Chain A
Amino acid sequence: MGAENGMIAPEKFGVRASDLIEISVPNDLRSAKQPESRVLDELRRCNYAEEVVFAIKLALEEAVTNAVKHGNKGDFSKRLTVRFHVDPHRTLIAVRDEGPGFAPGDVPDPTADENLERPSGRGIMLMHAYMTRVEYNEAGNEVWLLKENKEPARTAGSPTID
């Protein structure tokens, strides 16, 4: 299971394609809050710990911001597509823009002394820092973010298996 024709299959991350929820919105940051809100709702429903929610929210926002501003270059006629799956053990999110893509390897290291004050690349670095896996499709216009939830919360109302 893996990339075919430059596409990434969600099964690669342990998620069936049919389990992904897809939301497509106009290319602006206000509209982009809609899929983010849905993902956050799912994280709450699954009782993710606050620090894990922080990590996923941050990575998702960095991916969305990059897609809107750099991928789609702020073009309001383009769209942003977010697909996601949340369960107690993992969250998988794909963010796709309609731009030509980019080569992630060409982005300068934002933690290098000479780049610390440059905003370029900081979001990508943070996505890698906070997520379990980050992968781009071959074109570089779709990023997949996987977060494994190591310690799913157990609450009084959540089912347990002994």
Chain B
Amino acid sequence: MATQGKQGTGPNGGFADDRLSVSFRDVRDVRVVSLNGAAQLDQYDAFRRDLLRVIAPEVRGYAIHVAGLSFIGSPGLSALVEFRNAVSGRLWLAEPRPSIANLFRLARLTGKLRVCATLDDAIDQAAQCG
């Protein structure tokens, strides 16, 4: 899994073989983190590290763009919660697929991981962080 300072690739179909990638770009003091692909069984430790690696002191807030995220399991949810805590809650998720949104709901994490319908909304929310 690679962490890049570039915009990530777009959504991809299926979730069996495409490994999860983490990339980021900065928009108006907001770090937009794009998750694409499907988290694999042996990827979660690296995923957790990659998420924590994008944290930067100059960033106001974080928008996690999950439109391209096709699969994630409970270790990935735990990594997102850890990331949220590491950035003191300055985190919004944007554009989850229905299956991912349902997963957040089932895990009762929508109160911890706030979800926006669009990436622009998530960036706007994150930009208002102090």
Contacts and interface: CB of A to CB of B under 8 A. Distances in A.
B41 A33 contact: yes
Contacts of B41: 29-30, 32-33, 36, 61, 64-65
Nearest to B81: A117
B111 interface: yes
A99 B73 CA distance: 23
Contact of B73 (A37, A62, A110): A62
Contacts of A37: 16
A62 B76 CA distance: 11
A134 interface: no
Interface stretch (B4-12, B50-58, B60-68, B102-110): B102-110
Interface stretch (A12-20, A86-94, A123-131, A139-147): A123-131
Contacts of A29: 41-42
Interface of B: 15-16, 40-42, 71, 73-75, 77-78, 81, 85, 99, 103, 106-109, 111-112
